[in-house]
Amino acid sequence: MRIDLHCHSTASDGTDSPAELVVAAHLAGLDAVAITDHDTTAGWAEAAAALPPGLRLVRGAELTCVSPDGRGGQATVHLLAYLFDPHAAEVVAEYARTRAERRSRLHAMAGRMAADGYPVDADTLLADLPDDVPAGRPHLAQALVRAGVAASVNEAFAKHLHGRNGYSVPSRRTPLVAAIEMIKAAGGVTVLAHGFAHRRGPTISAGVIADLVPVGLDGLEIDHPDHDEAARAGLRALAARHGLVTTGSSDYHGTNKTIRLGAETTPPEMLSAIAELATGAELLVGS
């Protein structure tokens, strides 16, 4: 069994449509794949409708959260949420708020760049985005590639969107504890995404993670391309101490990143544990 529980589609900042994502997962030899777009469930229906025989679909999302880091500061934290009720009122409202603020933030970022002479137009960029897509820096990166400013999305991030030159505006983030409570109330399962990916910025401490267990944190993503061996070992020890589910996933974004589908995988017993923890209306799709 090969299982990849963290993948993005064009419903957020991936480059495969939800239908293309499940077909690509099948071609990559996966037995189960999760669709976990940032702050939206908009890709679920298309992915489910296009599911190739023999492939299971785990419906999920990746929430952008903020938490005290345990060292006196704040950290941006991504929370993977699986198998929750996408119609839960609190979830719907929070996503709508987040997406609206993501759009105004992207507009602000593009505006700052345009003011400095970059060949981007904030209004055009926003107008060209699909309706209600969770707008993110990757969309701005693609605009920079189209304008010939950067050769690739990766280069656009490295040279222009890294956050140290004043163009990157923080996005709206849900307090982590509130996000966990919201997903649990909607019957879902919560897994901390790439928790010790230090090169992405400040991370939360082991102590903060331990305190999230009684709140409802169910698992930790351990095998992730942005985790070195020390990060994996630290998270594995934490998961063992607190009896948490452990996952491994590629965090596939299509051609916006170089990582392949199934580059990291989750053991089958962990997917079973996730399915058992879910109490919401939305269960796994597929055989």
Q: Is 251 in the site for Zn ion (CB under 5 A)?
A: yes
Q: Is 94 in the site for Fe ion (CB under 5 A)?
A: no
Are the beta carbons of 93 and 120 closer than 8 angstroms?
A: no
Residue nearest to ligand AMP (CB): 136
Closer to ligand AMP by CB, 137 or 184: give it.
Answer: 137
Are the beta carbons of 230 and 2 closer than 8 angstroms?
A: no
Q: How far is CA 150 from CA 105, 145, 163, 260, in A?
A: 21, 5, 16, 22
Q: Which does 184 bind (CB under 5 to 8 A by kind): ligand AMP, Fe ion, Zn ion, none?
A: none
Angle value at C-alpha 200, between 187 and 61, nearest 5 degrees: 20
Q: Is 137 in the site for ligand AMP (CB under 6 A)?
A: yes
Please report the beta strands in the chain, taking only residues with DSSP state E, as ranges in sequence order.
3-4, 32-38, 56-68, 74-82, 174-175, 189-193, 219-223, 245-248
Q: Is 56 in the site for ligand AMP (CB under 6 A)?
A: no
For ligand AMP, the binding residues in 143-162 under the rule CB under 6 A are 153-154, 157
Closer to ligand AMP by CB, 56 or 227: give it.
Answer: 227
Task: Using CB under 6 A, pick the residue from 18, 43, 138, 188 that binds ligand AMP.
Answer: 138
Instruction: Compute the Cα dihedral for 58, 59, 63, 67 and give only its sign.
Output: negative
Closer to ligand AMP by CB, 96 or 283: give it.
Answer: 96
Q: Is 105 in the site for Fe ion (CB under 5 A)?
A: no
Instruction: Compute the Cα dihedral for 188, 181, 178, 79 and give only its sign.
Output: negative
Closer to Fe ion by CB, 13 or 264: give it.
Answer: 13
Q: Is 86 in the site for ligand AMP (CB under 6 A)?
A: no
What residues line the site for ligand AMP (CB under 6 A)?
13, 38, 136-138, 153-154, 157, 171, 253, 256-257
